[in-house]
Amino acid sequence: MLLTGLISAALFNAQIKFEKGYLIHNSGEKTEVFIKNLDWKNNPTEFEYKTDESGAIQKENIKNVQEFGMDHGDKYIRKTVMIDKSSDELRQMSETRDPEFVEETLFLKYLVEGKADLLYYENSDIRKFFFSKDDSDVKQLLYKPYYINESQISYNEEYKNQLTALTCGIEKKELQRVRYQQNDLSKLFMNYNNCSGGQSTDHTQSAEKKDLFNLTIRPGISSSSLKTVYSSYSATDETKFGNKTTFRAGVEFEFVLPFNKNKWSLFVEPTYNYYQSEIETTMYPGTYFEQKSKRSVDYKSIEVPFGIRHYFFLNDQSKIFVNAAYLVDFGFKSNIKYDYLDLEVNSGNNLILGAGYKYNDRFGVEFRIGTPRTLLRNYMVWDSDYTTMSLIFGYTLF
Instruction: Please indicate, yes or no, if residue 5 is contained in any of the structural domains.
Output: no
Does pLDDT of 320 surpass 70? yes
Q: What CATH number corresponds to the domain at position 299?
A: 2.40.160.20
Residue 345 domain flag: yes
228 with 340, same domain: the answer is yes
Please compute the mean of the pLDDT values over residues 11-28 and round it to a whole number. 77
Q: Nearest-CA neighbor of 122 among 87, 159, 157? A: 87
pLDDT tens per residue, range 84-105: 998 888 888 889 999 999 999 9
- Count Cα neighbours of 266 within 13 Å in the Cβ-side half-sphere: 6
Statement to judge: residues 167 and 282 lie in one domain: no
The total of other beta-carbon atoms located within 10 Å of residue 303's CB is: 26
Residue 207 in this model has a pLDDT that exceeds 70: no
**How far is residue 49's CA from residue 45's CA, in Å, rounded to a whole number?**
14
Instruction: Give residues with Cβ within 8 angstroms of 71, minimum separation 6.
Output: 19, 20, 21
Residue 366 confidence (pLDDT) above 50: yes
More confident residue, 261 or 49: 49
Same domain, 193 and 145: yes
Of the candidates 182, 206, 230, which is a domain's last residue?
206
Write the pLDDT tens digit of every residue in 324-348: 999 999 988 899 999 889 999 999 9
24 and 154 co-located in one domain = yes
Beta partners for 105?
80
Same domain, 147 and 284: no
Domain membership flag for residue 7: no
**Domain-terminating residue out of 160, 189, 206:** 206
**Domain end call among 179, 206, 233:** 206
**pTM, whole model, 2 decimals?**
0.65
The per-residue pLDDT for range 153-185, each reduced to its tens digit, is 999 999 999 999 998 878 888 888 999 999 999
Report the candidate in 390, 335, 386, 394 with the shortest Cα–Cα distance to residue 360: 394
Residues 226 and 374 in one domain: yes
Tell me how far CA of residue 225 lies from CA of 83, 246, 309, 360, 376, in angstroms.
Answer: 59, 11, 26, 35, 15
Mean pLDDT, rounded, for 231-258: 90
In which band, very low, low, confident or very high, does the pLDDT at 14 lie, cut at 50, 70 and 90?
A: very low
The answer to whether residue 155 sits within a structural domain is: yes
Q: Are 220 and 165 within one domain?
A: no
Q: Which amino acid is at 332?
A: F
Same domain? For 259 and 118 the reply is no
pLDDT in tens, 57-67: 999 999 999 99
Query: Is the CB of residue 267 less than 8 Å from the CB of residue 253?
Result: yes
Average confidence (pLDDT) over 211-226: 93
129 and 254 fall within a common domain:
no
- Whether 201 and 294 map to the same domain: the answer is no
| pLDDT tens digit sequence for 102-149 | 999 999 999 999 999 999 999 988 999 999 999 999 999 999 999 998
196 and 329 share one domain: no
Task: Compute the distance between CA of residue 167 and CA of residue 394 in angstroms, rounded to an integer.
Answer: 53
What was the pLDDT predicted at 8? 53
Question: Coil, helix or strand for 205?
Answer: helix
- Phi/psi at 323 (nearest 5 deg)? -150, 160
Question: What mean pLDDT value characterizes the chain?
Answer: 89
Pairing mode, strands 236-256 and 264-268? antiparallel
Residue 122 lies in a domain: yes
Question: Could you give the C-alpha distances from 118 to 72, 151, 184, in angstroms and in order?
Answer: 18, 34, 11
Q: Do the domain assignments include residue 9? A: no
Q: Residues 190, 284: one domain?
A: no
**What was the pLDDT predicted at 206?**
54
Phi, then psi, of 287 in degrees rounded to 5:
-120, 170
| Residue 46 domain boundaries | 14-206
263 in a domain, yes or no?
A: yes
Domains held by the chain: number: 2
Domain-embedded: residue 28: yes
* Cβ-based neighbour number of residue 173 at 10 Å: 7
Q: What is the pLDDT of residue 13?
A: 45
Give pLDDT, residue 12. Answer: 47
250 touches 218 (CB < 8 A): yes
